[in-house]
Amino acid sequence: MNLTISGHHLDVTPSLREYVLTKLERIIRHFDQVVDVNVLLSVVNMREKERRQKAEVTLHVKGKDIFVENSHEDLYAAIDQLMDKLDRQVCRHKDKLQDHHHQAVKRMTTEID
């Protein structure tokens, strides 16, 4: 799995990197066919009073790219909510990959001689 954590108008501290890694472990535990993960953490300055922290994840799994983004006043809260959304989408993708349709058991007739 390739992991890229980058910041836009933000320095990615080791504590932020470790927090993202611990949250990503939950996703990897649910679905282990993850090929590539790109995490972008940014600060959006609308106005000085309305500083918004934004977290984005692009997850490349076998057969699909999943993109999730979330904004919050606190970056750690944005990461928490982002990982909850990502977990739901990964579980939904995993359910679609599994075949839940069972074929009916056909009765086999045996002839007694």
Question: pLDDT tens track of the chain, all 113 residues?
Answer: 889 999 998 899 999 999 999 999 988 888 878 889 999 999 887 665 566 899 999 999 888 899 999 988 889 999 999 999 999 999 888 888 876 666 655 555 555 65
| pLDDT score, position 27 | 87
| pLDDT score, position 30 | 80
Q: Do 43 and 54 meet the contact criterion of CB atoms below 8 Å apart?
A: yes
- The continuous run of DSSP H or E covering 49 comes out as none
Q: Do 50 and 16 meet the contact criterion of CB atoms below 8 Å apart?
A: no
| pLDDT score, position 107 | 55
pTM for the model:
0.78
At the second CATH level, the architecture of 2-97 is 2-Layer Sandwich (3.30)
Q: Where are the domains of the chain?
A: 2-97
Which tokens is 40 given? 């972008």
